[in-house]
Chain A
């Protein structure tokens, strides 16, 4: 079975450019999560969706970051304009709806983003 698929795996771009990260969750999963990992701050939850609806975006750093989930099989995380401090590894994860139970989250291999 295919796991969580993220693209691109690596992205290098110049400061000020728009960056779009993509995620395809595991089929049948209805919860989707975006995380960011840096050496300084570790792994942080940015936002998560249940049934394509954003539930908690309190981890989104600022207005430059936006996330969408237009359907059950696709999500994007967009940074516009990008800044060097956005350089990090961004992970997408999916799970069955965790409400009422503790469902494991399945992570993709991440997108390594470098902003020059």
Chain B
């Protein structure tokens, strides 16, 4: 499994953009980058995933470096509800075993 490195915690203000980084320098060419988040007292929630090009959905954007050794999850306008632990998880196409690291605890200030 590819090893990931994320900051333990980050803090931002409501209605401002948030950029959550993830280093995955040992990623293989067939690993997709998945992001999940876990709100307090809830189960994890899928956010987004991608392989090489940048991806957008209603929740967030995912920017993947050209060498694929890092990626950034972008929340365009953070709300208080975005306060959660965010996990970056490399996953081979078709694989089903999610390996959760420690993630980044995101705090949003009103």
Interface residues of A (CB under 8 A from B): 4, 31, 33, 42-45, 48, 50, 55-56, 91, 93, 95, 98-102, 104-110
**30 A-B contact pairs sorted by A residue (CB < 8 Å):** A33-B96, A33-B98, A42-B101, A43-B87, A44-B100, A45-B98, A48-B97, A91-B44, A93-B43, A93-B44, A95-B96, A98-B94, A98-B96, A99-B96, A100-B93, A101-B94, A102-B34, A102-B49, A102-B93, A102-B94, A102-B95, A104-B49, A105-B44, A105-B46, A105-B98, A107-B44, A107-B45, A109-B41, A109-B42, A109-B43
Known: A31-B96, A42-B101, A99-B94. 14 other contacts (CB 8 A): A33-B96, A42-B100, A42-B102, A45-B98, A93-B43, A98-B96, A100-B94, A101-B94, A102-B49, A102-B94, A102-B95, A105-B44, A107-B43, A109-B42
Chain A binding surface SS class: strand
Which residues in A have their C-beta under 8 angstroms from that of B41?
A: 109
Which residues in A have their C-beta under 8 angstroms from that of B100?
A: 42-44
- B43-70 contacts to A (CB < 8 Å): 43-46, 49
